């Protein structure tokens, strides 16, 4: 007796699966419009370490347009925003599209502002610093310049990479008359910058989602969160803490 041919149910199962998925997408999109993301999330802000007094953020074009009036008025418990680090340049020819706007608005709205350069390890350090200094004009009250080093070297050796970063820091110091700040993450610092030559440069360390900062490195600024939510900024923003008193903080300001 010939076997009965089984019907192919796969197309029908696929259609049902896609239909259910489409329904969930519609429901989710409607919920997003009815329940918009709450910018000032108490849950996030309650996670901010409370035993400090000076807080700040760092921004670039990723934050796009900022409502600076709202940001200037932000307050949660004792937390307000005192300083703003702003991305200026990267490599030897890139300028952040929001650089000029962010730099001017930070000053206008009473924030202590700082500028940083995103360092590219395979490019000439002096050319990078000259590019940075062509864009940034520091005024009285501005923070020391920042060298942001977080990319692993590919085309240069460990030894040459460390030497080049030192060259960049020393060049900045010579040209600006101030001691620049070194930004990097905890693991990167441990790998590359534990040498005595780097101890003179104030450290801004990225070390996320911890209740306390690292106690085995000499940090001054601590980037403790990269997904903070604040009034005036759509989406996420990095949040930072300064270690010490305002009297100490003022030593980083140009005068």
Q: Are 31 and 51 contained in the same domain?
A: no
Residues 116-162 have pLDDT tens digits of 999 999 999 999 999 999 999 999 999 999 999 999 999 999 999 99
Q: Are 23 and 126 contained in the same domain?
A: no
Band (pLDDT 50/70/90 cuts) for residue 8 is low
Q: Mean pLDDT over residues 83-101, rounded?
A: 98
Q: Mean pLDDT over residues 78-85, rounded?
A: 97
pLDDT of 7 > 60? The answer is no
- 119 within a domain of the structure (yes/no): yes
Q: State in Å, rounded, how far the first CA of the chain is from the last one.
A: 99
Taking all residues of the chain, what is their mean pLDDT, rounded to a whole number?
88
Q: Are 107 and 49 contained in the same domain?
A: yes
Q: Are 15 and 72 contained in the same domain?
A: no
Considering the candidates 30, 46, 69, 150, report the single residue annotated as catalytic. 150
**Residue 58 known to be catalytic:** yes
- Number of structural domains found in the chain: 2
Q: Are 15 and 136 contained in the same domain?
A: no
Band (pLDDT 50/70/90 cuts) for residue 34 is very low
The whole domain housing 28 covers: 6-36
What whole-number distance in Å separates Cα of residue 218 and Cα of residue 203? 7
Contacts of 78 (CB under 8 A, 6+ apart): 50, 53
Considering the candidates 58, 142, 148, 238, report the single residue annotated as catalytic. 58
Q: Are 223 and 128 contained in the same domain?
A: yes
Q: What is the CATH number of the domain that holds 141?
A: 3.20.20.80
Residue 237, SS3 per DSSP: strand
Q: Are 197 and 225 contained in the same domain?
A: yes
Q: Are 71 and 147 contained in the same domain?
A: yes
Tokens read off for 235? 């989406």
What whole-number distance in Å separates Cα of residue 121 and Cα of residue 148? 11
Q: Are 158 and 32 contained in the same domain?
A: no
Residues 177-212 have pLDDT tens digits of 999 999 999 999 999 999 999 999 999 999 999 989
Given the DSSP bridges, would you call strands 81-90 and 219-228 parallel, antiparallel or unpaired?
Answer: unpaired
**Whether the Cβ atoms of residue 240 and residue 222 lie closer than 8 Å to each other:** yes
- 1 within a domain of the structure (yes/no): no
Give me the pLDDT at residue 43, please.
83
**Residue 30 known to be catalytic:** no
Q: Cβ–Cβ contacts within 10 Å for residue 127, how many?
A: 13
Give me the pLDDT at residue 23, please.
44
Q: Are 171 and 215 contained in the same domain?
A: yes
């Amino acid at each position: 007796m010939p076997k009965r041919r089984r019907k192919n149910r796969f197309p029908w199962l696929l259609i049902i699966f896609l239909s259910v998925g489409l329904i969930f997408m519609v429901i989710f999109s409607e919920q997003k419009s009815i329940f918009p993301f709450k910018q000032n999330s108490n849950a996030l802000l309650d996670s901010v370490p409370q035993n400090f007094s000076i807080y700040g953020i760092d921004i670039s074009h990723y934050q796009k347009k900022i409502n600076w009036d709202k940001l200037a008025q932000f307050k949660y418990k004792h937390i307000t925003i005192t300083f703003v680090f702003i991305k200026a340049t990267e490599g030897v020819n890139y300028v952040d599209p929001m650089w000029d706007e962010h730099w001017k608005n930070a000053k206008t709205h009473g924030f202590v502002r700082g500028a940083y350069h995103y360092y590219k390890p395979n490019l000439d350090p002096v050319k990078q610093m000259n590019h940075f200094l062509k864009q940034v004009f520091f005024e009285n009250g501005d923070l020391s310049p920042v060298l942001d080093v977080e990319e692993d070297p590919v085309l240069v050796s460990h030894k040459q990479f460390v030497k080049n970063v030192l060259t960049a820091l020393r060049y900045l110091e010579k040209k600006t008359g101030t001691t620049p700040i070194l930004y990097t993450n905890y693991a990167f610092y441990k790998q590359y910058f534990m040498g005595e030559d780097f101890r003179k440069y104030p450290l801004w360390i990225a070390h996320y989602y911890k209740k306390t900062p690292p106690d085995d490195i000499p940090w001054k600024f601590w980037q403790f969160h990269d997904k903070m939510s604040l009034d005036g900024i759509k989406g996420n923003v990095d949040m930072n803490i300064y270690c010490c008193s305002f009297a100490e903080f003022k030593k980083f300001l140009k005068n």
